[in-house]
Structure 1
Amino acid sequence: MGMSVTISVATGQDAEQIFKLQYLCFQSEAALYGNYRIDPLVQTLDSVRQEVTADCVFVARLGEEVVGSVRGRITEDGAAAIGRLCVHPRLQGHGIGARLLRAAETALAEQRGATRFRLHTGHRSEGNLRLYRRVGYQAVGRSRGADGVEMIVLEKDAGTYAATA
């Protein structure tokens, strides 16, 4: 008998599991860029705790285990910045990332008034780019992270769901 993955709002008690999951999930990104100082790998547990308290944070659970997470917040220009989307490597490719994105987008639009969503990913992260395009995001520019990685900036209007993975 299998268990279903559920999506829910993160609580302060989830911060440590989110922190550990993020560290595990972003190893492949670090390897892709040959840079193990990327932001998700150097973020502190206290910083994750602060984000869980202040931002719109969702987790995917398999039983009691946190197997995915995403964060969002409203920026100065009124767009919703979505980031740190991650799914445990053993569960990737099953639509959990798209479900997490949808949960964050819905909450940011309904509860915080977002009309536009923005996210970024590394320019070599083809799997991430495929997911984001599939759910309606379009590249709008490039930037360079504080860690030196070239990023592609993607946006979409609220209510735009090209597909559900």
Structure 2
Amino acid sequence: MGMSVIISAATTEDAEQILKLQYLCFQSEAELYGNYRIDPLVQTLESVRDELTANLVFVARLGDEVVGAVRGSIDPDGIGEIAKLCVHPRLQGHGLGARLLRAAESALADEQSATRFRLHTGHRSETNLRLYRRAGYAPVGNTTGQDGVRLILLEKDAAARAYVASA
């Protein structure tokens, strides 16, 4: 009998697994941009622990293994910031990223009273952009990350949490 993937709040004990998963997942992004110094690949274990304390962090678990993660925080203007969504490569394409995104959105709206959601992804990251478009996000601008990667900023209204069926 197979196991189900469970989405739950992360604990401080998850920090090392989250960092290892993040390192694995963002290799393809680094290759896409020819930049192996992108922020998720140079993050320290201590800063992941800090995020677990300061932010909403959700993980997807397959048994005891963390196979997905996402972070959420709220800014002073009530905008829910969603970051570092990642799913283990062997489980990508099965809706797990969308489930993690919904968990972050729900918590930010319900627990933190977010009025809008904001996230970003690299301009060449078509798979990510497709996921976010399906989730109702629209581009609102561009910026360049500290790592030099051009990012597309996307937002949606928190009241529009329902997923759009079309890509």
Q: Which residue of the partner structure matches residue 88 of structure 2? A: 88
Deviation at 1:10, TM superposition (A): 0.3
Give the distance between the partners of 2:31 and 2:65, measured in 1 at CA: 25
Q: Which residue of the partner structure matches residue 140 of structure 1? A: 140
After TM superposition, the score normalised by the length of structure 1 is 0.97
Structure 2 unaligned regions, length at least 5 = none
Q: Which residue of the partner structure matches residue 20 of structure 2? A: 20
Q: Which residue of the partner structure matches residue 156 of structure 1? A: 156
Residue pair 1:73, 1:82 contacting (<8 A) in 2 also: yes
Give the distance between the partners of 1:157 and 1:72, measured in 2 at CA: 15
Cα deviation, 1:54-78, whole Å, max 9, x if unaligned, reads 1000000000100000001011332
Give the distance between the partners of 2:102 and 2:66, measured in 1 at CA: 17
Deviation at 1:164, TM superposition (A): 7.2
Q: Does 1:62 align with 2:84?
A: no
Cα deviation, 1:119-143, whole Å, max 9, x if unaligned, reads 0000000000000000100000000
Letter in 2 for 1:11: T
Letter in 1 for 2:138: Q
Identity %: 73
Give the distance between the partners of 1:120 and 1:7, measured in 2 at CA: 22
Name the Cα RMSD after superposition: 1.2
Give the distance between the partners of 2:12 and 2:73, measured in 1 at CA: 17
Which one is further off, 74-83 or 5-14? 74-83
Cα deviation, 1:93-129, whole Å, max 9, x if unaligned, reads 0000000000000001111110100000000000000
Letter in 2 for 1:7: I
Letter in 2 for 1:84: K
Equivalence map 1:36-115=2 (5 Å): 36-115=36-115
Name the SS for the 1:112 alignment partner. Answer: coil
Letter in 2 for 1:162: Y
Q: After the TM superposition, which parts of structure 1 deviate over 4 Å for at least 4 consecutive aligned residues? A: none
Name the SS for the 1:159 alignment partner. Answer: helix
Give the distance between the partners of 2:165 and 2:84, measured in 1 at CA: 19
CA pair 152-67 structure 1, distance change in 2 beyond 3 A: same
Deviation at 1:163, TM superposition (A): 3.5
